[in-house]
């Protein structure tokens, strides 16, 4: 089964966008999934690619159509080039997105951030000097206006835990890429997951791979960056629970992950963006060393100066739980995330040699933050703050 996504004009001044969404369930593939792509790109329009997986189900979740209602009055139609320093960061409030924003502002870019409307606005982005525009990838009609005057889109977005994986990570990205092509965006940077092409049984990884293929066939000038893991994610997973003497969850599998500081990821991203030799490329960024869960926990214990209360979950339990939750429709998304956990808990190394990438980017490996240094800085700062708070608390008790 395949479905076509409606065409978009290349320039939009005033648009109407009709969004017909079909329910998209996570993929249930038996065996290796194969991708089928069809292109029909005319000079004045983009007929989006039909995406299908076989065996299993078809990725054709939505039909999006933008129609120009009036004559175009954009800088493109007037022949005025869009400044190369004008960028739109999607997912700017996330762990990686905010570092991309900070790096871009520090390097002199004109930064626009697409964020969802929320009760508590992302004021910190404005305080930094970025422009904040409201938009929602799950509502494609909100996208075109955010792209006016933009040269490069940097896509750091991912869905919220309470949302179906497909809503933002597939349907939203399809709409965003479609609109980027229609609006004449000069470059599209997309963050993906290392080895996503090797695990079609995991919905998030399959969607990332499908999005890569979709972007590659869209006609846009793109840069795809596959990532292994964020060092920042280890703080909430291991460092904080150890300090608070709470349980730390791990598995009995020897998975090794080359975690990378998101500040280094953002720095290397802009170096790659400015490199004229890097055009329509797929790069993978990995940290200096791949770590097992137990090695990370041991490092945190040493730096925190206290033992961790480790609860080990056997991989066999993860597999059984995923199969069990598949029986209930309302737990499908939980099962999807368990499938991802299962891959991360298998005997796999999430890392790649970085020598060639460093040479391509002109980067010295010594400038890349190691996990030891990152966690050392964190524990030094947090333990000092805890010590200061404890001293202030004692002083308050005296006054009381």
Query: What pTM value is reported for the model?
Result: 0.77
CA gap 164, 329 in Å, rounded: 12
Residue 250: CB atoms within 10 Å:
19
- pLDDT by residue (tens digit) across 352-392? 999 999 999 999 999 999 999 999 999 999 888 876 665 55
In this structure, what token pair is assigned to residue 73? 């009055």
Pure H helices in the chain: 97-106, 123-128, 165-166, 173-182, 203-216, 233-234, 240-243, 262-274, 293-304, 315-325, 332-344, 355-361, 371-399
Give the percent of the chain with pLDDT over 70. Answer: 67
**C-alpha of 368 from chain center:** 20
Q: Which pair of structure tokens corresponds to residue 53?
A: 């997986």
The whole-number pLDDT of residue 147 equals 96
* CA pair distance 324, 194, nearest whole angstrom: 28
Mean pLDDT of the chain: 76
As a whole number of angstroms, the longest Cα–Cα distance in the chain is: 77
pLDDT at 62: 42
Q: Contact, 11 vs 76, CB < 8 A?
A: yes
Query: Taking phi first (over 0 means left), then psi (-120 to 50 degrees means alpha), and beta for anything else, what does residue 239 get?
Result: alpha
| C-alpha span between 197 and 215 (Å, rounded) | 15
Cα angle, residue 373 at apex, residues 371 and 378 outer, rounded to 5°:
95
Cα 333 to Cα 312: distance, rounded to the nearest angstrom: 23
pLDDT of residue 255: 82
What's the pLDDT tens digit per position in 159-174?
Answer: 887 778 888 999 999 9
Q: Is pLDDT of 28 > 60?
A: no
Kindly report the CA angle at 52 between 27 and 114, in degrees rounded to 5? 75
Q: How far is CA 82 from CA 76, 85, 105, 220, in A?
A: 8, 9, 18, 16
Q: Which residues pair with 251 in a beta bridge?
A: 313
What SS3 class is residue 128? helix
CB 340 within 8 A of CB 193: no
Higher-pLDDT residue of 243 and 320 is 243
Please name the helix (run of DSSP H) or strand (run of DSSP E) that holds residue 225, with its range, or none: strand 222-227
């Amino acid at each position: 089964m395949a479905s076509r996504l409606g065409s978009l004009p290349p320039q939009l001044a005033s648009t109407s966008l009709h969004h017909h969404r079909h329910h998209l369930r996570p993929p249930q593939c038996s065996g290796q999934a194969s991708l089928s792509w069809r292109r029909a790109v005319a000079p004045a329009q983009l007929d989006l690619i039909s995406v299908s997986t076989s065996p299993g189900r078809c990725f054709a979740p939505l039909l999006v159509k933008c129609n120009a209602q009036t004559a175009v009055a954009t800088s493109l139609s007037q022949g005025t080039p869009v400044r190369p320093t004008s960028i739109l960061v999607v997912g700017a409030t996330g762990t990686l997105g905010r570092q991309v924003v900070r790096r871009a502002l520090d390097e002199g870019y004109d930064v626009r951030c697409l964020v969802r409307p929320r009760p508590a606005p992302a004021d910190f982005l404005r305080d930094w000097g970025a422009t904040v525009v409201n938009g929602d990838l799950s509502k494609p009609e909100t996208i075109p206006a955010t792209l006016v005057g933009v040269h490069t889109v940097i896509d750091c977005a991912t869905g919220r835990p309470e949302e179906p994986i497909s809503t933002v990570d597939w349907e939203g990205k399809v709409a965003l890429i479609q609109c980027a092509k229609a609006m004449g965006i000069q470059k599209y940077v997309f963050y993906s997951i290392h080895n996503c092409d090797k695990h079609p049984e995991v919905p998030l990884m399959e969607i990332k791979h499908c999005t890569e293929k979709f972007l590659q066939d869209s006609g846009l000038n793109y840069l795809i960056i596959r990532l292994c893991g964020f060092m920042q994610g280890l703080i909430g997973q291991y460092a904080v629970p150890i300090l608070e003497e709470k349980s730390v969850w791990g598995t009995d599998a020897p998975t090794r992950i080359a975690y990378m500081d998101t500040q280094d990821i953002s720095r290397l991203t802009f170096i790659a963006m400015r490199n004229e030799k890097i055009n329509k490329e797929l790069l993978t960024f990995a940290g200096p060393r791949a770590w097992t869960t137990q090695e990370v926990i041991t490092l945190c214990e040493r730096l925190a100066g206290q033992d961790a209360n480790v609860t080990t979950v056997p991989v066999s339990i993860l597999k059984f739980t995923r199969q069990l939750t598949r029986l209930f429709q309302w737990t499908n998304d939980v099962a999807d995330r368990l499938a991802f956990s299962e891959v991360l808990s298998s005997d796999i190394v999430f890392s790649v040699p970085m020598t060639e990438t460093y040479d391509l980017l002109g980067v010295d490996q010594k400038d890349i933050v190691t996990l030891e240094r990152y966690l050392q800085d964190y524990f030094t700062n947090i333990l000092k703050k805890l010590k200061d708070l404890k001293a202030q608390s004692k002083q308050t008790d005296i006054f009381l």
